[in-house]
């Protein structure tokens, strides 16, 4: 009898959309599948900022445990939520073709606040730091919850706007008309990409998922995540990174910020395909030598 691939996912609307996308692709290739949804700690505890919870991979840990216990065969994640070091026995099996990497500001129809005082909301230290870097007189409120919850909180509060990943809103058709693209904001490493992981000894699932892997997205996210890993940032540090491929070259921009946005250490470089495996690490090491090392030490103290 042909094996049924059990697909583990969080139970939010966006996470389920991602899992169903993988399911459809596997079914089209002739595989039998089943979706198993679980609730993560990051979905349950919504009254604290992520960095205060002190758990690496807060949105992925529950699925990691389910895989290690043999309750699911594979797990589908927003790649930007996944720690740069996977648990022992679990490996990256496929990175799907990337969607938009943009952050967007969802607002209430009036943008006058951009030139005055304003209050915007985001649960991301990266977004907060970059917003305060550009708009130092503004306030940034913490915003947690799944996409639907955050959109409702924006309606219910007196905030001027809130920052979202464009890809998440587009995937479940929740992107409103009142938004602007924040093309100046450097996205989270691997933003817009979906990652599927499997057990390293599960030859059947690994072979099936290899057919879903998008090479260009896999290369770009590899660079971005090695940049993050070398800075030792974890998923919540104010670090942005974006690699893109144009013709035969790979272009990269990355930055490390202080929490208040006042400090920014930025890098922009390119390389060819032969050099990509060390490219993210090399860019991060340059950031560290240009003051990033002391800034990271300060961030670790502040985020304890």
Count of other CB atoms within 10 angstroms of residue 253 = 17
Helices (H), 38-165: 41-44, 50-53, 61-68, 125-134, 147-156
Is 11 a catalytic site residue?
no
Q: Residue 178 in contact with residue 200, Cβ under 8 Å?
A: no
Q: What is the DSSP string of 87-113?
A: PTTEEEEEEPPP----EEEEE-S--GG
Per DSSP bridges, beta strands 4-10 and 74-78 are: parallel
Return the C-alpha torsion angle 124, 130, 136, 140, nearest 10: -10
β-strand partners of 37: 9
Query: What's the sign of the alpha-carbon dihedral 22, 27, 30, 36?
Result: positive
Which residue of the set 81, 112, 177, 214 is catalytic?
Answer: 81
**Helix 13-28 and helix 147-156, axial crossing angle in degrees, nearest 10:** 150
Report phi then psi at 66, rounded to 5.
-60, -40
Which residues are known to be catalytic?
81
């Amino acid at each position: 009898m042909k094996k049924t691939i059990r697909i583990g996912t969080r139970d939010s609307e966006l996470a389920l959309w991602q899992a169903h996308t993988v399911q459809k692709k596997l079914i089209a290739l002739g595989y039998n599948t089943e979706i198993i949804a679980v609730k993560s700690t990051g979905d349950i505890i919504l009254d604290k900022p992520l960095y205060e919870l002190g758990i690496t991979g807060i949105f992925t840990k529950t699925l990691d445990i389910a895989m290690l216990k043999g309750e699911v065969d594979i797990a589908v994640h927003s790649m930007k939520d996944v720690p740069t070091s996977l648990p022992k026995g679990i490996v990256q099996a496929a990175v799907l073709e990337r969607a938009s990497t943009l952050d967007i500001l969802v607002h209430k129809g009036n943008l006058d606040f951009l030139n005055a005082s304003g209050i915007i909301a985001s649960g991301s230290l990266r977004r907060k730091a970059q917003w305060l870097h550009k708009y130092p007189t503004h306030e940034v409120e913490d915003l947690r919850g799944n996409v639907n919850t955050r959109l409702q909180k924006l309606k219910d509060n007196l905030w001027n706007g809130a920052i979202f990943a464009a890809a998440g809103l587009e995937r479940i058709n929740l992107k409103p008309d009142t938004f602007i693209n924040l093309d100046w904001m450097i996205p989270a490493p691997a933003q817009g990409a979906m990652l599927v992981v499997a057990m390293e000894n599960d030859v059947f699932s690994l072979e099936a998922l290899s057919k879903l892997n998008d090479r260009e997205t896999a290369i770009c996210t590899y660079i971005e995540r090695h940049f993050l890993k070398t800075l030792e940032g974890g998923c919540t540090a104010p670090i942005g990174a974006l690699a893109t491929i144009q013709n035969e070259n790979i272009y990269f921009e990355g930055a490390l910020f202080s929490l208040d946005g006042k400090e920014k250490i930025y890098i922009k470089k390119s390389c060819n395909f032969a050099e990509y495996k060390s490219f993210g690490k090399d860019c991060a090491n340059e950031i560290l030598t240009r003051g990033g090392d002391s800034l990271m030490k300060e961030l670790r103290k502040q985020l304890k």
